[in-house]
Copies of this chain bind each other. A is one copy, B any other.
């Protein structure tokens, strides 16, 4: 019988709620209102065709154990890694294919307003803890951890996202495909009683933003805007609370940060000047999603979370939210999925360098497709991360499709010197052609005509080193095809 873990059960939603109610209530209690308010689970399996055909789903199911488990992975100093993917990390949870896992994620920008995004929240407090003697999470980034070598801090801020995980999927090996269904995705309520029922996020117009060297008048400045998001789900928009210009901040270890050059530096608002009139009356539609979601790369031990890659990561497509499914080529044993960089909203381009960076909790179902089952299926040749929504399929082009391999031993620094929308457009074109030819069995000529008249190319992001262009094709286009 379905234990609230079989999305194909007709009474799944009912069973799932019962399961949730029975799960350790202490921790989850404060999130529950958000889940319910957000309308419960997405109705997967209903509606649009999936890349996973019934036969492929059956093959995957046959490899799953009879019972599914719903795991819970909180975010705290023990369960997160900050600023890097790594195949060397110890898994936080081991799961079977088909299992569900609820994963809490924290935004790395929470220290822009500790009062609204950290205080009173034990998980966030443990991660952002930073006194003159101790950091909750010392390493932040893929850079050096040698105090004699780093200038900004351990890990050197080469990679910024607080990542929860990794999740080890039993049986996953290179050559397999990991299907990641996002069943739910809700803002993390503020734990400070002063702001009950609200959630908050931060948008930093930072030095790595697309606009930075093109400001009117030529001034260089970084501006942070704090946004309020309704945690209860009754408002579909976010609103600015205030903004402030970044001024040099001294971290508890005594390092001065003249710009936003290291993640998690606690902002001392005694030094800033806050403008509470910012964006008065402007309502930004919310699009909760995970900016960074992916499996561990094989090509390096420590990989900066910023540039997206063949194994996914920081794709920063706002469509990677509730109801969406991602497919990743597995690169290392166990897949090692990590999740972070939660966003309440983002536009295509993420122009100023960040979204509304806002802690979220997601419910995921992970399904492993073994290489041996892929022959003749739509996933057979998939060697890039792709996105499926209820109505659409999307491929993601990058300036370099697999930059860790494409750019040689210095790939992780080289990539930042080679950012280009033009190159990402070229990659998106090639991937969409490949997708249409392999999954829909079109000829090259058919695929190219269709791409011109029925596929939309958009600018995913121009701020992550390895810039992105996505291509969207609607499933209904193929609904009349035998």
Contact = CB atoms under 8 A, between A and B. Distances in A.
A477 to B, nearest CB: 6
Interface stretch (A277-285, A361-369, A382-390): A277-285
B209 A456 contact: no
Interface residues of A, number: 69
A462 B215 contact: no
A209 B447 CA distance: 13
A428 to B, nearest CB: 9
A114 interface: no
Q: Is the interface of A mostly helix, strand, loop or mixed?
A: mixed
B348 A476 contact: no
A216 B450 CA distance: 16
Interface string A339-350: 000000111111
A474 B347 CA distance: 11
A453 interface: yes
A301 interface: no
A75 interface: no
A334 to B, nearest CB: 35
A420 interface: yes
A459 interface: yes
B459 A469 contact: yes
Interface stretch (A1-9, A257-265, A352-360): A352-360
A422 interface: yes
Interface in A443-457: 444-446, 448-457
Contacts of A46: none
Given A449-B203, A459-B457, A477 B282 contact: yes
A480 B351 contact: no
A430 interface: yes
Given A279-B446, A477-B283, A453 B203 contact: yes
21 contacts: A205-B445, A205-B448, A209-B448, A211-B429, A211-B451, A216-B433, A278-B449, A281-B480, A281-B482, A282-B446, A283-B477, A345-B453, A345-B454, A348-B455, A348-B458, A350-B452, A351-B429, A351-B455, A421-B425, A458-B459, A459-B459
Given A205-B452, A216-B433, A457-B462, 15 more contacts: A205-B445, A211-B433, A238-B453, A278-B445, A282-B442, A282-B446, A282-B480, A284-B454, A347-B454, A347-B457, A348-B455, A348-B458, A349-B425, A355-B452, A421-B469
